Amino acid sequence: MSTDTILSFEEAMEKYDPVLGFEVHVELNTRTKMFSSAPNVFGDEPNTNVNEVDLGMPGVLPVVNRTAVESSIKIGLALNCKIAESCRFARKNYFYPDTPKNFQTSQYDEPIAYDGYLDVELEDGTVFRVEIERAHMEEDAGKLTHMGGATGRIHGADFSLVDYNRAGVPLVEIVTKPIQGAGSRAPELAKAYVAAVREIVKNLGVSDARMERGNVRCDANVSLRPHGRERFGIRSETKNVNSLRAVEHAVRYEIQRHAAVLEAGEPVIQETRHWHEDTRTTTSGRAKSDADDYRYFPEPDLVPVVPSREWVEELRASLPEPPAERRKRLKADWGYSDLEFRDVVNAGVLDEIEETIAAGASASVARKWWMGEIVGRAKAADVDPGQLGVQPATIVELATMVEDGKINNKMASQVLDGVLAGEGTPAEIVEKRGLAVVSDDGPLLEAIDAALAAQPDVADKIRGGKVQAIGAIVGGVMKATRGQADAGRVRELILEKLGVTA
């Protein structure tokens, strides 16, 4: 593996202006595939979610999945795209074992959605508009595992094993127009853009949007041009950058690498690059060549998709509130500070807090419980906070008990532990663990009588005006009530009992 010379990011930015472009593939979570009725399920036994259509057997006919078309239109609408009056599928011809048909059914000259935009919010709140060129429907390819060879990488592989379960899974490919003007924030924008797309498709419910499973995959195009020049430089395309962090790092690395190439007076090669998470570098894939001649032609086995305007408007009306708008609304409703809200978002408990407030908690109580109690426990258990299974009603119940003075905050935290350990509802745990704050004077008076009787000399001292001696009696009462008495109230009652005014 060759190591590239790179320039520092700062120096690269001083001399060059980056232009970005992204192709994001979104796997839809339909029950069946794009063109066949085989199940679209991740992680099953190899080659069991296939039928004759997915295996490209002779004479089979594909039929378009209506739900996949609906999902595609929803994605287009959420990206502020126009939806085609009529569009068709095309064959993208290539020979590689990931497709048994020797072509991928895709869209070429007539994508279902085009000319949109997405407003992407950067971490400091700056909004950057990314223009969307198109979003088109296609199918995923099978999964190849390269076997043998010295390194296990494809270059040393002896043979490959192919699983076609993923072949034919519905995909929507979202292509941006060239993104200009991001400057030194290009890597951050890259990450924010992919995060925003992921969030949108998840919010629409059209994809599971799990990057670690390849539900959302990103190819990142980077080119540099000297400041002030309009013409784009030659780009590289880094394939399959499949985590948000990796997108940011890959764009940053490619900017630094291009800058070094240009500084050396050499031309950037237009090529595919492979991202390596371990070294955070890219390596050369293959150069664009005549192997990229896909000879697209209209798919003769599928008829055009003509979404009626009624259908499109029906789908538009059914769209959920866009995530960015929702955040703005919730922040205003809850009255959190910028910092508080950002922490909540970063901790991934926005939904949970919203549900807890809906269940009856105040915004500040909901935040206190999720951020103060649950996020830390989730981190210790190495799971997402939502996965701990804390019910909104549980938090409301705990908060109410604290407000009513039945338990204090420390006890409430113990009760939560009990709930997580499956010991029952908060009320049951308070009962079982005997955790209630004793504020009823009856049991307190009994304990006070007992404490005074046990230490008659101390009682006499207090009667005699040595009020500071009261600590010993209070201590006795607290011990007898296992720390559950309100110490201030105990003191009052003792003084009352002994007829002393403090």
Binding site for other proteins (CB under 8 A): 30-32, 36-39, 45-52, 55, 63-69, 86, 88, 93-97, 144-146, 148-149, 154-155, 157-164, 239, 272, 274, 285-286, 290-291, 293, 295, 297-300, 302-306
Shortest Å distance, C-beta 82 to other proteins: 18
Write the DSSP assignment of 146-186 as a string of letters.
EE-SSSSSGGG-SEEEEE-TTTT-EEEEEEEPPB-S-GGGH
Q: Which is nearer to other proteins, 85 or 449 (CB)?
A: 85
Q: Which is nearer to other proteins, 126 or 145 (CB)?
A: 145
SS3 call for 460: helix
Long-range contact list for 304-307, CB < 8 A, 24+ apart?
304/86, 304/87, 304/88, 304/110, 305/64, 305/69, 305/84, 305/86, 305/87, 305/88, 305/89, 305/112, 306/85, 306/86, 306/87, 307/69, 307/73, 307/83, 307/84, 307/85, 307/112
Among candidate residues 26, 347, 448, the one with its CA nearest the CA of residue 199 = 26
Contact of 23 with 219, CB cutoff 8 Å: yes
Radius of gyration of the chain (CA): 32
Q: Tell me the CA distances in angstroms from 129 to 104, 119, 238, 435, one per residue in order.
A: 31, 4, 22, 55
Q: Which is nearer to other proteins, 205 or 389 (CB)?
A: 205
CA dist., res. 494 & res. 490, Å (int)? 6
Shortest Å distance, C-beta 316 to other proteins: 18
Contact of 257 with 282, CB cutoff 8 Å: yes
CA dist., res. 64 & res. 107, Å (int)? 13
CA dist., res. 125 & res. 119, Å (int)? 11
Shortest Å distance, C-beta 151 to other proteins: 12
Shortest Å distance, C-beta 24 to other proteins: 17
Shortest Å distance, C-beta 117 to other proteins: 28
Q: Which is nearer to other proteins, 149 or 335 (CB)?
A: 149
Q: Which is nearer to other proteins, 161 or 427 (CB)?
A: 161
Joined together, the tokens standing for residue 172 give 């929507």
Joined together, the tokens standing for residue 108 give 């070429």
Shortest Å distance, C-beta 178 to other proteins: 23
Q: Which is nearer to other proteins, 84 or 224 (CB)?
A: 84
Q: Which is nearer to other proteins, 63 or 332 (CB)?
A: 63
CA dist., res. 92 & res. 110, Å (int)? 13
Q: Which is nearer to other proteins, 289 or 501 (CB)?
A: 289
Shortest Å distance, C-beta 74 to other proteins: 14
Shortest Å distance, C-beta 420 to other proteins: 37
Shortest Å distance, C-beta 218 to other proteins: 15
Q: Which is nearer to other proteins, 14 or 301 (CB)?
A: 301
Among candidate residues 302, 297, 288, 300, the one with its CA nearest the CA of residue 92 = 297
